[in-house]
Amino acid sequence: MSYYLTGTTTEGCIGYDTINIKVYKGPNIYVPNAFTPNDDNTNDVFKPGMPGIKQLMYFSVYNRWGQLVYQTSIQGQGWNGMRNGKAVRAEVYIWTLSAIDYNNKVWKKNGSVMVIR
């Protein structure tokens, strides 16, 4: 959805602004399939969108050898593409998560994500 605002002062100056709002239906879990951790403030962090979820049990990311590269249980936090202080290689990683929604239903999901550098 996009909302447009126009304001006019008593002196006749006009200002415009627009806000775009993305609407998610929940409860559900949305997870991107790629991200670009290059510090440009766009898609730098890999994290699930979780409308209607009250508790994240775990969100884990593994490399192709099954080694844990990231894990959190804090909703809203995500992986920045680093492991032990170093940037990981541009390749596919596996993620898994478990969460509880506001109806006390347990969600378990997994998939893959591509790190693009």
Q: What is the pLDDT along the chain (117 residues), one digit of tens a residue?
A: 899 999 999 999 999 999 998 877 889 999 999 999 999 999 999 999 999 999 999 999 999 999 999 999 999 999 999 999 999 999 999 999 999 999 999 999 999 999 999
Q: Which residues of 84-109 are buried (b: 16+ CB within 10 A; e: fewer)?
A: eeeebeeeebebebbbebeeeeebee
Which residue segments constitute the domains of the chain, with CATH numbers given?
Answer: 26-115 (2.60.40.1220)
- Nearest C-alpha neighbor of 30 from the set 52, 48, 55, 56: 48
Per-residue pLDDT at 23: 79
pTM of the complete model: 0.79
Scan for tokens 């541009």, then name that residue: 90
As beta bridge partners, residue 17 has: 5
DSSP 90: S
Measure the CA–CA gap between 23 and 5, rounded to whole angstroms: 19
As beta bridge partners, residue 40 has: none
Per-residue pLDDT at 25: 80
Per-residue pLDDT at 26: 86
